[in-house]
Amino acid sequence: MPRYAFKIEYDGSPFVGWQKQKNLTSVQGEIEAALARLEPGPHNIAGAGRTDAGVHAFGQVAHCDLTRDWDPFRLSEAVNYHLKPAPVAITACARVAPDWHARFSAVERRYLFRLLPRRAPATFDRGRVWHVKKSVDVAAMHDAAQGLLGTHDFTTFRSTICQALSPVKTLDALDVVEAEGTSGPEVHFHVRARSFLHNQVRSFVGTLERVGAGSWTAQDLMDALEARNRAACGPVSPPDGLYLAGVGYPEDPFA
């Protein structure tokens, strides 16, 4: 059976997350329903990452097996047609090898988190940024974040319902920078690793926001990491500002 890779973007606001759940609206479920309009199902697509409820993506990757030999461009056009009006789009499609896997062939995941620090509430970007009412020290957050790089036991920054076999992960990058957004100056967190624990990025961001607000120091962050205790984590950020920005492979299937 031919195997196809999809690059996917979506607004996560109306979904329970990526993963299909019975009687609930998910991104995976919407795409599988669209595929069933093209070829009789059931279909079971595999995604590179399981984003939670309210989390967005512009670089999610998934693969599916179909019986028909589709032209990739025509396949993406057909799926997009049947996805309407759901806020989900296939932005690229490629034929891949039968043993290529969206999740297990990946060598890195990249996330973007958008924080909007201003007194006035978000309007155009409501649900797509984390709005905080006070300014934050971007340099202090970035400097503190560098202590999280490398291989650590990240139990502190791991959800209690995380199903990963080990809390040990290697964090390759966590850059905190100022950026211009739709509603004015934003703070962007760029995070990169081979894989992540459940809620790890949101736990990082929520805790680092405390550093930016002056409630925590960089040493407090290191003490929390070394505690290896979920109770030592700072507040977990809401999902609104989180985006799966990209998935890396030894060879880009969409190049």
Q: What is the CATH number of the domain that holds 86?
A: 3.30.70.580
Name the band, by pLDDT with cuts 50, 70 and 90, for residue 72: very high
- Give one word for 199, left, alpha or beta, with left for phi > 0 and alpha for psi -120 to 50: left
Q: Is the pLDDT of residue 51 over 90?
A: yes
Name the band, by pLDDT with cuts 50, 70 and 90, for residue 54: very high
Is residue 143 among the annotated active site residues? no
Residue 241 and residue 127 in one domain: yes
Percent of the chain with pLDDT strictly greater than 90: 97
DSSP three-state, residue 82: helix
From 84, 105, 126, the end of a domain falls on 105
For position 41, what pLDDT does the model report? 80
Considering the entire predicted model, what is its pTM? 0.96
- Give one word for 23, left, alpha or beta, with left for phi > 0 and alpha for psi -120 to 50: left
Residue 231 and residue 133 in one domain: yes
Instruction: Judge whether 251 lies within some domain.
Output: no
From 76, 105, 134, the end of a domain falls on 105
Catalytic residue among 11, 52, 153, 172: 52
Burial class (CB in 10 A: 0-12, 13-18, 19+), 231: exposed
Q: Is the pLDDT of residue 183 over 90?
A: no
Q: What's the domain range around 120?
A: 108-246
Residue 126 and residue 90 in one domain: no
